Structure 1
Amino acid sequence: MKFVDQLGADETIEHWDRRHRRLGALRSGGDAGYDEFSNEIFYSVRLGRLLDIIGDRTEYAAPLRILDAGCGKGWFAHSMARFGHAVDGIDVSEHAIELCRANATGHSSFHLSPLADWQPPYLYDVVYSIDVLFHIMDDALWEASVLNLAALVRLGGLLLVVDHESDVDRTWSFYQRTRALQRYQSLLEPVGLQVDRFVPYGFRGAPTGFLVLQRVF
């Protein structure tokens, strides 16, 4: 099904800034169809899956350097910083980034930037993007975003992207398009990232989860 009014890049920025201003801390970056209690569980489940992948060890003298790509109001980034990691968070919503900065904890910093444009002076141990990429409707921008995030991962580091576990692309609405896992694989393997596994959320039967890739060259 084709949605003729699907969001362009500028419209997407406006949509998410309005959403972050209008909705509460959890529903704005979670599932707007869930109540606050369900979103509390939803966030906790996703954080648990993230820790299953990254691991539960940290080192104060040499913390993991992590990028939260599309951090929203910072729930996951703040959690990672409290765990002792060094975290950068980026998002296109000015309002969300203002809140992130106001609530920053530990070794964390937050920046207004699209995923495709972020260029820090260092690489990351872990780059993750939670429930963001399937809101990029334009395929060229989606590809540029994925490739830029991949370029920020150090040798041996991890890229975690969230999408549906599917072998076909599908447009769900004017602001949601999921891509086949094979598309990520064909895009990223030539630039040195190898698929490790898919970790489903396991939340209320949804096919969503983390595609885990590791930089091997």
Structure 2
Amino acid sequence: MKTYKPGEYWEQRLSQDFDLSGVGHKGLSLDYNIQLYNRRLEVLKSRLSQAKIDISQSRVLEIGCGNGFYTQFFTQHQVREYVGIDITSVSIDNLQQQFPDHRFVCADISELDVSHLEGKFDIVFAADVMFHIVDDEKFKAVIRNVACVLRSGGLLIISDILPQETTQTALHVRLRSKSEYSRLFQENGLTIRYIEPIFVIAHPSPTYGHHLLWNVITIFWKSLLRVKFKRWLIVDSMICRLLLWLDRKFLCPKYGQKTPNSKYIFAYKQ
């Protein structure tokens, strides 16, 4: 029986593809993944702007810095300090060369003693990371450590799916419900302030939902991935553009809060 070993799994993936296909969806083309990450950034910037959150001069800790997509974002916004943590040496080695002014640490955040960093950071950021922590005790440890290193009033930004019920959809994917997040946040002095939808249909739905629409979307994506449409570049590009347009204009504003797909969660430390 296969077991999920996060360090080995991600070391192999990023060693093979140190780009957005390495950290993104393996069933999609590199170009499609790039467009999805641009959408993630678009939504992040929009919410930060709407909430009047100025991240410049902030001390930022990123958990799971991967190939450095968000490292570049924080660098462009001239944050005062940036620390990136990842469980893979390939990530840390590459990013330390690309961003010599930042600090990178190869470690499992759930196993770190962070008592000496209590209240150090203004922002902790973890994009598409938390659902890869499938062990519940490690997940709880990460939340505790995040709460410890955030200053009072500090901001936690994560992206996750938030299905109605916690479920495991793959060996390396465990999706926690909003109620589970809320409970763990409350236990650690964190309060959810905003939930901002990123995708409804443009990204493959990772799980069936409690609504006919979500189940139709899931079946739609399973069929698309089965035919490996990324082989046909024109089709790939057309599908990507159409689905992102639908998400921006119609689906995210109307259905985004309830759909079992990616959302940003903004939580503050009390």
State the TM-score, normalizing by the size of structure 2.
0.71
2:3 counterpart of 1:18: no
2:91 counterpart of 1:96: yes
Q: Which residue of 2 aligns with 1:144?
A: 141
What pairs up with 1:1-217 in 2 under 5 angstroms? 5-7=2-4, 11-55=5-49, 57=54, 59=56, 63-85=57-79, 86-104=81-99, 107-116=101-110, 117=112, 119=114, 121=117, 123-202=120-199, 204=202, 206=205, 207-216=261-270
Cα deviation per residue 1:85-136 (whole Å; 9 max; x = unaligned)? 121110000011101111116x522111112216363521111111111111
Letter in 2 for 1:150: A
- Alpha carbons of structure 1 residues 133 and 6: separation in structure 2 relative to 1, 3 Å: farther
Distance 1:43 1:163 in 2: 14
State the TM-score, normalizing by the size of structure 1.
0.87
Percent identical across equivalent pairs? Answer: 23
Cα offset, 1:58, TM superposition: 5.2
Structure 1 portions without partners, runs of 5+: none
Distance 2:196 2:187 in 1: 22
How many residues are matched? 206
Distance 1:187 1:54 in 2: 24
- Alpha carbons of structure 1 residues 37 and 183: separation in structure 2 relative to 1, 3 Å: same
Root mean square deviation, CA, Å: 1.9
Cα offset, 1:6, TM superposition: 4.3
Q: Which structure shows the higher strand fraction?
A: 1
Letter in 2 for 1:197: Y
Cα offset, 1:157, TM superposition: 1.2
Letter in 1 for 2:175: T
**8 A contact 2:131–2:176 mirrored in 1:** yes
